[in-house]
Structure 1
Amino acid sequence: MATRLVQVTMKARDDAAVGRFWADALGWGVSSEGPGVTNVEPVGFSYPDPVAVCVDVLAVPEPKTVKNRVHLDLATTSAAHQAELVARLQGLGATPADVGQGDVPWTVLADPEGNEFCVLEPREIYRDTGPIAAVVVDCLDPAVMARFWGEAMDWTVHEVADDHARLRSAKGVGPYLEFVRTPDPKTGLNRVHLDVRPYPGDDHPAEVARLKALGATDADVGQGDVAWAVLADPEGNEFCLLTPL
């Protein structure tokens, strides 16, 4: 059994507005599962497919108060493309953000509700990822996180260093999942989290048990009685194990 990363879920006070921002930012389409849930995915996309990690936006009453531990990095193909994309995103409502990055070649912005993201300078490694270069998770120990997520999913671990680790779908398509060392421990519930899904025919309770054996723990985010499982990785980052599909 195995899982794969299928979407990133963001909480927002106005899911429709944040969803529309991200759809316009990525050049994707937007739809809704119902009140309070906005889905963002490529037009014509057949979900799930590792060629893209989708974005789900969930309505919550609480405003954002601290820096997110999970963010998106956007890919560019040239210096001109980077400048053009930054200008376009600011026209859509993004604002400059300071997360202590200092003088770096990438640009840090925040979406209309303050969710930080980066517009990267051109990098060869991200030339074929699509608009999202990477889903990035702050962590205390990249090696521990790479070990857990590399066993939790059927993605390939590409690189593990002292300050970062990188995984990607074994099919060699879509964005990377990256873990970046930060000195700050996690506090409170994450406003952005990962959603993983088992394959068709897999046993959901057995997959929950397997992930717990790897180091996951039960997490309560107020989900109530739902079909999916809410767990936390070894550093306490909440994630959802969706039903097989």
Structure 2
Amino acid sequence: MSISLHALSVDAKDPAGLARYWAGLLGWEQAGATELLPDAKTPFRLRFLQSDVERDRPCYIHFHLTSETPEQQQETVARAVELGGRHIDIGQKPEEGHIVLADPEGYEFCVIEAGNKFLADTAFFGEVASDGTREVGYFWSKALDYPLVWDQNEETAIQAPSGGPKIAWGGPPVEPKPPKNRMHFDLVVPAGGDVDAEVERLIGLGATRLESGQEGADAIPMADPDGNQFCILTTPQA
């Protein structure tokens, strides 16, 4: 593999607090105050980054947590609320089986009902559900060398060869992009790999390298074909 998904990074006003919340809900180990190490079924970390930018719209990425039984769904919901989450209404219908919640900083997520076939072969952290086109699903499948496990009605999903969460895009219409995505993927090139060659490969697949001056010393910022920012980390990662 020439490049891999190291982490999904999340902007937060209180990164340490949000990391504690998701560590408690997912049961993942913390690595320092603001990073979570995944369970054995998940091939990427969660990182929480300091940001004081106010949210002015729903996030285009949200998480789906799975349930093996109706009782487990209710237990997950109860734990999510006890830790500091809350129920929210985004227009879901009473007959729909999933339960919509928000974490302490307002990020929406769903606790999916037992028996959901689409997420049957995933993990407790079952899906990163995203707003995006079919083109961007194809891009990320090729970029990460993840199999395309869903491709119907312009909706796409990929999954690591080892399994774990699906990363899915719901197809058009796609909402206008904010000036900065509050969640983004961080990618890494293996030790000894050619970062510049990977940048060129991703550009060949449809990515864009963002303007000089937007990148830090340890990251190259890019955007996928839908304009979603992501970074290639250039310093060694533990």
TM-score > 0.5 by shorter chain = yes
Q: In 2, distance between residues paired with 1:105 and 1:189? A: 32
- The residue that corresponds to 2:6 in the other structure is 6
Q: In 2, distance between residues paired with 1:220 and 1:64? A: 24
Q: Which runs of 5+ in 1 are unaligned?
A: none
- The residue that corresponds to 1:161 in the other structure is 152
Q: In 2, distance between residues paired with 1:220 and 1:112? A: 33
Deviation at 1:38, TM superposition (A): 0.6
Superposed CA deviations along residues 47-71 of structure 1, whole A, max 9, x for unmatched, are xxx7332110001122322100111
- The residue that corresponds to 1:149 in the other structure is 140
Q: Which runs of 5+ in 2 are unaligned?
A: none
Q: In 2, distance between residues paired with 1:100 and 1:186? A: 21
Pair 1:211-2:207 in alignment: no
Flag the 1:223–1:91 CA change in 2: closer, same or farther, 3 A: farther
Flag the 1:138–1:64 CA change in 2: closer, same or farther, 3 A: same
- The residue that corresponds to 2:127 in the other structure is 134
Q: Give me the identity figure in percent.
A: 33
Tell me, yes or no, if the aligned pair for 1:158 and 1:167 is still in contact at 8 Å: yes
Deviation at 1:170, TM superposition (A): 1.8
Q: In 2, distance between residues paired with 1:145 and 1:155? A: 13
Deviation at 1:93, TM superposition (A): 0.8
- The residue that corresponds to 1:38 in the other structure is 34
Flag the 1:224–1:152 CA change in 2: closer, same or farther, 3 A: closer
Calculate the aligned-residue CA RMSD, in Å.
Answer: 2.2
Tell me, yes or no, if the aligned pair for 1:18 and 1:57 is still in contact at 8 Å: yes
Aligned residue pair count: 233
The one-letter code matched in structure 1 to 2:26 is L
TM-score, normalised via structure 2 length:
0.89
Out of 111, 126, 129, the position equivalent to 1:119 is 111
Q: In 1, distance between residues paired with 2:130 and 2:64? A: 11
